A and B are shown apart, each in its own frame.
Chain A
Amino acid sequence: MPPVIEVKDLTKNFKDIRAVDNLSFSVPAGEVYGFLGQNGAGKSTTIRMLATLIKPSAGEIRLFGLDLQRHRKEILRQVGAIIERPDLYKYLTGLENLRIFAAMSGIRPTTGKLMDQLEMVGLAERAHSKVKTYSQGMKQRLGIATALVHDPQLIILDEPVNGLDPQGIADIRNLILHLSKGLKKTVLVSSHLLSEIELIADSMLIIDRGKKLVEGKVNELFDPSETLVEVKTTDDAAIWDKLSTSSWKDDLQPRRSDRIVLKLYRSRVPEFMKALVEMDAGILSLNTRHSLEDYFLSLTSGQQHVDAFKD
């Protein structure tokens, strides 16, 4: 089955700032696709381009095999999106909001169907309350309901669990899994909660400064039995050169200025430490990280963020 989303050489400039830089990726049908990046990495800009809120400066976007610019209306009938927080009409009720967005999507469901939607996100009892009386979590859930009301094939969720309590987060997680595995929909999720992405995503894309860092299946990019080894030596440049010409070269992660990072199976860590000693490396520190967050942080250029959260 062809990919639902195909992005090729996507670029967006805001005056002198290049927010997205020749980004290419594809989202397979029926998967949960995680979209990761730090603040300001270009995630929102990319998602807004997918949702036709922003026009690309260059590049191509195809959804369902069709060019997005030329077949916008046809494509958007199959897309449900929440961009950043779901702001709704505060002076209207939840039911009224849902009805409006359903109508804008070209459908006129009965009140019963709309109530079913609200039931699905746990808002049936508050259907007739004005949205201004809703909590942040309730607004988030209503936003998801508006994204799903017209039964789209592609759902784009930008930070869907913001403001939710642990139960709410779990509910959204289960919902996303149901949409993907049960209803065979394609879900693009961007989130800062990497632990959640780790639990639900089939594939992922990590971007930094508008550029792609990695893309692929989660279980291929990140194996929990693997670990990231970060080592700091007295002469990182020399040790890097030695490692890159050794049997460890395939385990090396993209070069960083402040440390050397390798991805190894945990069982090989002692072997690596021994190799360092044999290379006469003056080891200043050696850490292992084994979560997606660790993986993410190792790839992205968030030095300050890393130091802030170090043990």
Chain B
Amino acid sequence: MSTWFGCGKKGNAWYLRLMAMAICTFFYWGNAIAQTPEEVLARVREKLEKVNDYEASGKMRTNVIFIKAPVASVKVYFKKPNRLKIKNESGISFIPKGSVNMNLNNIFLGDAGYDIIDMGKEAGTGFRIIKLLPKEDNSDVVLSTLYIDEAQSLIRRAKTTTKENGTYELDMKYGKYAEFGLADKVIFSFNTKDYKLPKGVTFDYDDGEQKETDKLKGKKGRVEIVYTSYTINKGVSDQVFQ
């Protein structure tokens, strides 16, 4: 661009160089300074709005301290505005309650809107931190904290507190479906209750090894889905969500 305006040549090009730099700076700073949190959110929503529905395939890994489960092949179905279902068609998967909140659209639900608190940028990553407090009293979401990649208008992380399902975190990694705001990898962290069954019911085999029982308490559970493909806006039957 600088070559096109002749900025790199000697003589009278100095003012052209200055203009180019000004334009570059304008766009750069314009983006930065001009983007209010509302604008940032709007851009994010704009991307998300592109998707009416999708059917995705992926591998799901369950990482809960008291569950050992194999990596499962799952299908994830989404339909606007807020229906999301994770299904293991043939096998068994323990799907966390509140997995519907893996749908980022849920954050923006509610006709009453939400209060926005701009927390600035996260050190290290440079992500814009924006808190949303839904105005609607009946909203299940109490508070959402979004870590947004402004340049790509993508939510990289979200921490949401809900009335029904406690607090969960979403961590997104994007790839070829970034233009739709659809992640290649989603890590969904959620609170779990401690697990215990009476030994008189299970008749466990005691192999004599000491178990670290403290480790089992109070840990968050994690479900990680690595998406292999998305079929977007091709229609998803309502029956899937029943």
| A–B contact (CB under 8 angstroms) | no
- Could you tell me which A residues sit within 8 Å of B by CB distance? none
- Could you tell me which B residues sit within 8 Å of A by CB distance? none
